[in-house]
Structure 1
Amino acid sequence: MPAALTLARFVLLEARRTGLPWLVLAALAAGIGLAGFVSQLALTESAALQAGVLAAYFRLCAIFLTAMFVVTSIVRETADKGTELLLSLPISSTEYYLGKLAGFAACGTAIAAVFSLALLLWASPQGVAAWFVSLALETTLVAGLSLFFVIGLGQVVPALAATAGLYLLARLMGTIQTISRGPLSDDTGIMQRLASWAVDGVALLLPALDAATRTAWLLYAPPDAGEFVRVLASLLLYGGLTTAAGLFDLYRRNL
C-alpha cells in the first residue's frame, strides 16, 4: 500500500514539525530530575527505587503523549478539511486509516525507545528489552484506541477522556477482580456473586494491560517466554480488534 506508507511518513513529519520530539525530551529530562530527587530520599536500594519510579513515570508519559498527538492531529486535520481532501483522492478508506495508524504507532514506538534507552542506566538490558517491546505494543494499542475514538467523537476532550477511561479500566481490572474476590467479600450473597461475574465479564472484553509493561521486569527478572508471549498476543489481538472496529466505523460514516 504505497498510499498508506506515504500517509505514515506524513504523520512522522507532522510529529517533528509540531514539536513532539521536544515534548519527549522534556519528559525525559523531568524523569531524570525525578530520579535524582528519589535517590536522595532512599536510604538503601536507591537504584531499584529509581527504576521503579521512572518505569511508571515513563509509561504514563508515553501513553499520554501518544494519545494526545493522535487526537490533536486528527482534530486539526478535520478542522482544516484535510480528511475530506485526502478521501476525495484515489485513496481508499482502508489505506487512509492504516496509513495514519502506522504513523501514529511509529511515533509511539519511538517514544518508547527513547524512554527505554534511559532506563538502561538503572536496569538490566534483558529487562529493558522486554519492557520496551511491551510498551511499544501498548502505545500502538493506545494509538488505535485514540484514532477510533477521535474519528467517532470528533473532539479533543471526549476522545481523550474515552481513551483514558478505557485504558485505566484495563490497567486496574486485575486489581478490581482481586477486590471482588477478596476475604472481605461475601461469597454467599447473590448480589456479590453477580457483581463478581459482571467484573469477570468486563475483564474478558478488555486487554490484560495489568500484565503488560511491568515494573517487576526491570527490578527483578525479565518475564519467562510463556508469560511474555501471552502478554504480546493479548496486545496484538486487541490492537487488531480496535483496528477492525475503526475501519468499520470509518466505512459506515463514508456510506
Structure 2
Amino acid sequence: MTASASMLPAIRTIARYTLLEALRNRLLWLLLAVALGAVGISGFLNELALTESRQLQAALLGAVLRLAAVFLIATFVVTSMVREAADKGLELLMALPLPRAAYLLGKLAGFAALALLPALLFGALALFFAPPAQAALWAVSLLCECWIVAAFSLLCMLTLNQVLPALAASLAFYLLARVIGTLQLLGHAGHAAAGASQRALNGGIDALALLLPHLDQFTRSDWLVYHDGSGAELLAIAAQTAIYVALLALAALFDLYRKNI
C-alpha cells in the first residue's frame, strides 16, 4: 500500500469530525437564519424600489449571501483551529503515527465539505431569480470562493496562532482580492499623465494583482440579474481555485512541518 493510500482513512476521519463539529455548533441553523434575513431585507427593498425592483432584489440578495458565506466560513475555520489548539487536540494527533500532511488535508477536506452547505442553500435561493444554469454557476462559484478563503484562513491560523489577527488577515485578503481589479482600472485610467510616484504605485498594484486571486470575477450578482454567465467564466474560476488552494495548502503544510509540536 502506498503512503498516500494509507493516509486516506485518516484524512476521511479528520474531515468527518471537522464537519460534525460545524453541525454540532449549529452552523446550519445560522446559515438558515442568514438566508431568511437576507430574503427579508431584499424583499423590503423590493417594495421600496420604483423600477427594476426584482433586479435590485436579486443583486442585493446575491451580494449579502456571498459576504455572509465567506465571513461564516472564515470565522469557523479560525475558531475551530483555536478550539482544537486549546483542547490540545493537535498535540494529541501529532503524537499518533500520523503524517502531518494527513492532518492538514483532513482539515481542508472537512472545511471544503462544510462550504457545500452555504453553496447549496444559497444556490437554491438563487433559483428564485435566475434560470437553473445561472443559479448553478453562481453556487459553484460561491463554493470555489469559500474554498479559497477557507484555505487562506487555515494558513493564517497556523501562522499567526491568534484569533483576531488571523480573522483580520483573512478578511483583508478577501476584500483586497475582491477590489484588486477595480484598483487596477482606477490606477491605469490616467496612466498617460501619471507621475513617477503614480506609476510606481500602479506597478505595485499590478504586482499584487499577479499574486492575488481575482475574486471580483467570482460569484457575480449580474449572473442573477442579467443571466449572462458562461462556461468559460466557470472554467477560469475553477482554474484559479485549483491553483490558489494548492499553493495555500503547500504553504500551510510547510508551516505545519516546521513547527515543534
Alpha-carbon distance between aligned partners in 2 of 1:115 and 1:196, rounded to the nearest angstrom: 37
Aligned residue among 83, 101, 105 for 1:98? 105
Q: Tell me how large the CA RMSD over aligned residues is.
A: 1.3
The answer (yes or no) to whether the contact 1:55–1:215 under 8 Å persists in 2 is yes
List runs of 5+ in structure 2 lacking aligned partners. 1-7
| Conserved? CA contact 1:71–1:159, under 8 Å | yes
Decide whether aligned partners of structure 1 residues 224 and 36 sit closer, same or farther in structure 2, where only a CA change above 3 A counts.
closer
Aligned pairs, how many? 254
Give the drift of 1:148: 0.6
Indicate the residue corresponding to 2:3 in structure 1.
none
Equivalent residue number for residue 187 of structure 1: 193
Q: CA deviation at 1:44?
A: 2.3
In structure 1, the residue corresponding to 2:189 is in which secondary structure?
coil
The question of 1:241 aligning with 2:247 is answered yes
Normalised by the length of structure 1, the TM-score is: 0.96
Q: Does 1:27 align with 2:46?
A: no
For 1:128 and 1:254, how far apart are their aligned partners in 2?
46
| SS of corresponding position for 2:259 | helix
The one-letter code matched in structure 2 to 1:221 is H
Aligned residue in 1 for 2:56: 49
Aligned positions of 1:157-172 closer than 5 A = 157-172=164-179
Q: Which residue of 2 aligns with 1:88?
A: 95
Deviation at 1:39, TM superposition (A): 1.2
**Deviations, residues 14-69 of structure 1 (Å, cap 9, x unaligned):** 01111111111110110111122111111222221111000000000000010011
Identify the residue that residue 21 of structure 2 maps to in structure 1. Answer: 14
- Find out whether 1:220 has 2:221 as its counterpart: no
Asked whether the 8 Å contact 1:187–1:193 carries over to 2, the reply is no
Distance 2:194 2:50 in 1: 46
Deviations 1:85-113 (A, max 9, x none): 01111221000000011101111121111
Query: 1:83 and 1:19 mapped to 2: Cα distance?
Result: 23
**Inter-partner Cα distance in structure 2 for 1:225 and 1:12:** 30
Q: Give unpaired runs (5+ residues) of structure 1.
A: none
Runs (4+) of structure 1 exceeding 2 A deviation are 185-188, 221-228
Partners of 1:186 and 1:192 within 8 A in 2? no
Paired AA for residue 240 in structure 2: S
* CA deviation string 1:224-251 (max 9, x = no partner): 3323211221122111111111011101
Q: Does 1:119 align with 2:121?
A: no
Select 2:182's aligned residue among 153, 159, 175. Answer: 175
Q: Counterparts of 2:245 and 2:221 in 1: how far apart (Å)?
A: 22
Match in the other structure for 2:12: 5
- Contact 1:181–1:196 (Cα < 8 Å) also in 2: yes
Cα distance in 2 for partners of 1:239, 1:180 equals 28
Deviates more, 1:116-125 or 1:78-87: 116-125
Q: Provide the residue aligned with 2:162 in structure 1.
A: 155
1:60 matched to 2:67? The reply is: yes
